[in-house]
Amino acid sequence: MLSDLVVVDLTRALAGPHAGMMLGDLGARVIKVESPDGDESRRWGPPFAGPADAPESTYFLSCNRNKESVTADLKTPEGAELLTRLIARADVLMENFRPGVLDRLGFGIPRLRELNPGLVILSITGFGHDGPDRDRPGFDQIAQGEAGLMSLAGPGPGEPAKTGVPIGDLLAGMYGAYGVLAALHERNRTGRGKVVRTSLLAAIVGAHAFQGTRWTVAGEVPQATGNQHPSIAPYGLFRTADSPVQIACGSEGHWKRLAELLDLDEPEFATNSGRVAERGKLTAAIERVLAAEGAGHWLGRLREIGVPAGKVRTLDETYAWEQTRSQGLLIEVDHPAAGRVALPGPPLRFDGLPYAGARERHLPPPRLGEHNDSVRAWLDEEAVRPGR
């Protein structure tokens, strides 16, 4: 779908690389420009894959499929020349340097506009491009704390916890790719590119959802409620005779069917507000009944009566699950060092395409500098497109 687009990716670590991978999954040609030492996430391990003399971190493998890698020291004339030539050919430039770094390298916005008026520029920072904290480096866990997310995710008030994945990075990458596509759409009308800016802070605040409006509208400071929903009950994790199950009563109909199954007719549980107010008592009452049988029994009964429920899978169980595989969420690629490896697949499917993403064949995450020769040959062979 994006096979006519060239993306120059100067980003490293996760937020920017994730955005680039999303565009690559949709068919864009993504050229990752790395320093001679490479993206630092190449060294973020263990675990590593491949031979001991050429290891690849599984972290890097997670966010760099469908890309080519060229190396360049942008502080040297040779590196600056390569980037200049790439920018002239590109539709999108992505960077996640701290504010001002690109200017110091000689590639500030005016220079980029001069080189390519139609260039869409994605810039991702930790805390924003202006404001008093603009110069702070962006690391996901710090942003999770500063943006309030950790105060919501812990087991209870005063026990903050980060999420199990770098969600600020991932969200910033998603928002960034979303902004790039909007800017490209506008360019179809105007012929001119836009600067798209987001940050880890903005991405997390943008995902506060109902927790944000609890404060901005109702004046209530949300606190962590562990594995129970703060505004709906029962909605959370409940113990059985063996392993826990999750139950989500998203409607009064769900609740009435659950209450009948578990013989819960206390008057204080008659409304959602009452159940939220008495969440501790409600949870104890549910778990007393669930303790009589194991998770498999209760999941079967809950499915029979149409109450949403599920188990808690480990990642190996998730990837072995037939439903996961049926959605194209596990792909295999041939990596030049690690051999045949399985990767989490693209989350989008399109009507008429039998595979996930918009590529019939996915490219493995590249080795450092793997495409130095081929990209330079491409620049030498093809003239700059008309109008650029």
pLDDT digits (tens, 9 = 90+) for 262-302: 999 999 999 999 999 999 999 999 999 999 999 999 999 99
Q: Which two tokens stand for residue 378?
A: 């491409």
Residues 285 and 179 in one domain: no
Question: What's the pLDDT score for residue 388?
Answer: 42
pLDDT score of 54: 84
**Boundary-marking domain end, from 280, 311, 342:** 311
Could you tell me if 95 and 134 lie in one domain?
yes
When pLDDT is cut at 50, 70 and 90, the band that residue 87 belongs to is: very high
Residue 387: pLDDT band (50, 70, 90) is very low
* 51 and 166 within one domain: yes
For residues 123 and 196, is the Cβ–Cβ distance under 8 A? yes
pTM for the model stands at 0.92
Domain boundary among 258, 290, 311: 311
Domain shared by 159 and 279, yes or no: no
At residue 383, the pLDDT reads 52
- pLDDT at residue 234 is higher than 70: yes
Q: pLDDT tens, 359-380?
A: 889 999 999 999 999 999 999 9
- The radius of gyration of the chain's CA atoms, rounded to the nearest angstrom, is 25
Asked if residue 249 and residue 101 are part of one domain, the reply reads no
Domain finish residue from 257, 285, 311: 311
Does 213 map to a domain?
A: no
Residue 275 domain boundaries = 245-311
pLDDT in tens, 178-230: 999 999 999 999 999 999 999 999 999 999 999 999 999 999 999 999 999 99
pLDDT tens track for 51-76: 888 899 999 999 999 999 999 999 99
Q: Please state, rounded to an integer, the average pLDDT across all residues of the chain.
A: 95
Q: Which residues participate in catalysis according to the annotation? A: 169
Q: Are residues 326 and 297 in the same domain?
A: no
- How many distinct structural domains can be found in the chain? 2
pLDDT number for residue 313: 96
Contacts 24+ apart (CB under 8 A), 329-335: 329/356, 331/356, 331/362, 333/65, 333/362, 333/363, 333/364, 333/365, 334/364, 335/49, 335/50, 335/56, 335/61, 335/364, 335/365
Whether 141 is in a domain gets the answer yes
Q: Can you tell me the distance from the alpha carbon of 87 to that of 81, in angstroms, rounded to the nearest whole number?
A: 10
